[in-house]
Structure 1
Amino acid sequence: MRRGDIHLYGQPGAALSKIVLLASNQAVLDSERPWFMGLDLLDEGDGDLLTVEIPGRGWVNTAATHRLYRQWVGERIASVEPETIERVEEALRASLDL
């Protein structure tokens, strides 16, 4: 798993799943920690200043991070371009005042 990857996410066997962008630091993703941070992929922008377009995939609102359980991360769908993940990182820093 890499920061900026887009994956299916949901409890195995459950009827519902969603698409998420992995947002944690790469060291966290490389660790054995069972939890890390991600962002839900939205079909449309919500007009929020902290929402970033993921070209060809949708949008993420960086003010709405989610704690993801490693065992529920499924198939990798795509990876975000470096320029896009930079915009996501900038918006995350702004949303957390870092």
Structure 2
Amino acid sequence: MAPNDAARVVVSYPEDLSDWGRFQVEKPAFRAYLTKTLGEVREGDEWEEFVGVGCCGNTLDVPLRIERVKGGTEVTRDTGIEYVVREACGIQGGWLVQSAGGPTA
């Protein structure tokens, strides 16, 4: 591990993210994607990340935020990605056409 490599990064998503959205964000393939694409990070960095397309073409972009960084600031394939839930932000995933319960069911 190089001196600037992050050992662990804690990423948050909003508590009103749907179960499907949480599944997409927390699966190993998405964690691997983040380790390949994040690059340099700092606590407080925020961005929206596309996590999927529903059967009717609706997309879900999730607002993510870096909560903590352990070690350096460069995310590498060896960086551990952990998640925490933060306050709701009114996210609407557009999944009403797929579920009578709406985006948070």
Q: Under a length normalisation based on structure 2, what TM-score does the superposition of the two structures give?
A: 0.28
**Structure whose alpha-carbon radius of gyration is higher:** 2
Q: Under a length normalisation based on structure 1, what TM-score does the superposition of the two structures give?
A: 0.30
Q: Which has the higher helix share?
A: 1
